[in-house]
Amino acid sequence: GAVVSQHPSWVICKSGTSVKIECRSLDFQATTMFWYRQFPKQSLMLMATSNEGSKATYEQGVEKDKFLINHASLTLSTLTVTSAHPEDSSFYICSARVNSGSSGTDTQYFGPGTRLTVL
């Protein structure tokens, strides 16, 4: 149980285009999903918290107009990288939290990640 998928697993795009990444919780409902960015051999950097039916909460320094997040249902959140540039190339990972009534103790389950390369 607690499987999270991401699509696509990798994408190459031209500079200036937009890319959408989907994150789905396959066997549970997730009120809250998270989006992370990871550089090679480094830790995960939380970009934003995605709440179903409301606006995402972005971490300091993350441009909300560049990284658009939509959490339209309890099983789907999307991250759109708008007007992508080479510096946006990275590994993007989402996670979904299994709700148990106490957010601090809930386990986050992670998707397999999406490798974005912007040429």
Partner 1 sequence: AQSVAQPEDQVNVAEGNPLTVKCTYSVSGNPYLFWYVQYPNRGLQFLLKYITGDNLVKGSYGFEAEFNKSQTSFHLKKPSALVSDSALYFCAVSPFGGKLIFGQGTELSVKP
CB of 103 to partner 1, least distance (A): 3
SS3 31: coil
Query: Which residues are paired to 23 by β-bridges?
Result: 6, 77
Given the complex with partner 1, which of 80 and 110 has the nearer CB atom?
A: 110
CB of 49 to partner 1, least distance (A): 7
CB of 73 to partner 1, least distance (A): 19
Report d(CA 94, CA 30) in Å as an integer.
Answer: 12
Given the complex with partner 1, which of 54 and 105 has the nearer CB atom?
A: 105
Query: Which residues are paired to 20 by β-bridges?
Result: 80
